[in-house]
Homo-oligomer: A and B are copies of this chain.
Amino acid sequence: MASQQKNPVLSPYRCFDPEPSQREVALQLYSQVRDLPLICPHGHVDPRLLADPEARFGSPAELFVIPDHYILRMLYSQGVPMESLGVPTKDGTAVETDHRKIWQRFADHFYLFRGTPTGLWVQDELQSIFGIHQKLGQENAGAIYDRLVEQLSLPEYSPRALFRRFNIEVLCTTDAATDPLNLHRTIQQDGFPVRPTFRPDAVVNLDTEGWTWNIQRLSDASGIEVVDERTFLEALRQRRQHFKTLGATATDHAAPTAHTGRLGENERGSIFNRALRGQASAEDARRFTGHMLIEFAHMSAEDGLVMQLHIGSERNHNPQVFQRFGRDMGADLPRATEWTRNLRPLLDEVGNDSRLSVVLFTLDESTYSRELAPLAGHYPVLRLGPPWWFFDSVKGMECYLDQVVETAGIHNLAGFNDDTRAFASIPVRHDVWRRVSCNWLAAQVVRGLIDFEDAREMAAQLAYGLAKTTYRFTGGEA
C-alpha cells in the first residue's frame, strides 16, 4: 500500500483543476460523494453474468478487449485487423484464438488511448479493481495478463462478487420487448437489485433485419397474436406490464433522428400491414417510428415507465465491417440532430402531462445549449440524460455541464448513467463523473457563482439523487 502510494499511476487528484483553491474545494466535494452507492439506470450488462453464481468474466481479452467497441474502433482505425483481436466473424473465418496474444496486441497499441476515456478507464480498472499499479505497455503485458488470469479465476472477481464490491444500489439492463426476463427473476431472487428496461426497437423499427420474425416472437411472448396495428399495440402494452412486474421503471428507444409525428389510423394501419407483408419502405419505417414514439409517450404517461430517447446514431455506417463482424463494432456514427421542431408533435400531445417523464440523449453537442437545455428548462416532462457515448469523458462532461446548467439548472438533468456493457468499468465511469462534476462545481464556488453549501447539495444530486428520482427508484432495492 505504501509502495502504491509512492508510485501511483493514477493521481488522487485526477480530473481536478491544478489551481490550489479549486482543487481543494473539488476534493472536499468529492470526498462526500465518492462512496455513495451507484445508481445505474441505463446500461447494457448481460444478465447472464449475474444469473449464475458461478459465472466468470473469462480471459483478460474477453473482459477488456473483444467486446469493447471503443477499443475495437480505435485499433481498427490504426490498421489493426479485428480478426487479430479475436472478434468473431459472421462467416466463421478463423480469428485469433490466443487470448494472450490479443492482450499483447492491445498492450502494444495502448499508447493510442492516451488522452481518451478508454485509457483512463482501463488504467483505473487495473489499479482499483485488480491492484495493478503499473502503466500497461508492451513490456509488462504478459506479466499483467498472467496476474489478471489468476485473479479472474477467483470467486472474489466473479461478476456477483464485484457487483457487491462496487456498491451498486440498482442496475438496469436493456432488454428486447420479447425477452421473457427469466434471468432477471433468478437474479432478483438471489437478492441482486437488477431491473430490466423495455427496449422495443426490434419490433418497432420496420426495417430491422428479421422484423417479421421479431413480431412472431412478440406474439409468442405476449400471448397476443399480432395481426395488425391494434394487436401490435396490445402486445406491447402486455410486455410493458410484464417488464413492470420484474421491476422495470423505464423504456428505451433509439432512432437516427428525433422525428415524431402522429399518423392517421388508416395510414398507420396500412403501413403496418405492408410491413407484415414485407413491403414496408424506408420512408414507411421512418414515419412509423415517428408515430410510435408518440404512442409510447402516451403509454408511459399511463403506466409510469420513464421514456428514454437515444437519438442521432447512424448505425452500421461501414458495410464491410457490418457484413464481416455484425453490429456494435465501433462503426456507428453520430449525425447532426434537430430537436426543437422534431419533438414538437410529441410535446404538443403530452409535453405538459405531469405523469410523464422523457429523458433525452444526444450525440450532437451543439444541441445542448441551443435546443436541449431550453426544452428541458421549460417542458415539465423533459429531462436531459448525461453525456452519451463519445461524450462520456472528462471534456464531454465539462462541455455538457457548461452548456446545460445555466439554462436548465441541475434539476432538469437525469444524473449519470454508465451505459456500458463493460461491467468492470462501471465504478470507474461513475468515479469520473463524480470527480468531474465536483471539480466543475468547485469552479463555480471559487468564482463566487454558488456557495459551498449549495455545491455540496448539487454534488450529491449529480452523483446520486437525480438518477434515483428521475428513474423513479423508490425504497430499497437489494
Give the B-binding residues of A (Cβ under 8 A): 9-19, 21-22, 73-74, 76-79, 111-117, 119-120, 135, 314, 317-321, 330-331, 333-336, 338, 340-341, 344, 347-348, 351-352, 354, 363-366, 369-371, 373-380, 382, 390-391, 393-396, 399, 402-403, 405-412, 443-444, 446-451, 454, 457-458
The interface centre, meaning the residue of A331, A340, A406, A411 with most chain B CB atoms within 10 A of its CB, is A406
How far apart are the CA atoms of A422 and B376 in the complex, in Å? 23
Asked whether B352 lies within 8 Å of A447 as measured between CB atoms, the reply is no
CB neighbours of A412 from chain B (8 A): 77-78
Question: Are A16 and B334 within 8 A (Cβ)?
Answer: no
Copies per assembly: 3
A–B complex contacts, Cβ < 8 Å, 19 sampled = A13-B447, A14-B447, A15-B448, A18-B447, A77-B408, A78-B412, A112-B409, A114-B454, A115-B410, A116-B405, A135-B451, A317-B347, A318-B347, A318-B378, A333-B374, A334-B340, A336-B338, A364-B370, A373-B390
Asked if A76 and B380 sit within 8 Å, CB to CB, the answer is yes
Q: Are B19 and A18 in contact (CB under 8 A)?
A: yes
Please determine whether A18 and B79 come into contact, CB atoms closer than 8 angstroms. no
**Given A14-B449, A412-B77, A111:B369 Cβ within 8 A:** no
List chain B residues, Cβ under 8 A from A114: 409-410, 450, 454, 458
Q: Are B410 and A390 in contact (CB under 8 A)?
A: no
Q: Which listed residue, B73, B119, B363, B376, touches A378 by the CB 8 Å rule? A: B73
In the complex, residue of chain B having the shortest beta-carbon distance to the beta carbon of A446: B18
| CA gap between A117 and B319 in the complex, in Å | 42
- In the complex formed, the residue of B with least CB distance to A392 is B406
Task: State the CA gap A21–B19 with chains docked (Å).
Answer: 8
Q: Is the CB of A74 within 8 A of B454?
A: no
A451→B370 contact, CB < 8 A: no
| Distance A394 CA – B403 CA, assembled complex (angstroms) | 11
Check A457/B320 contact, CB under 8 A, given A340-B333, A380-B78: no
For A457, list chain B residues within 8 Å (CB): 111
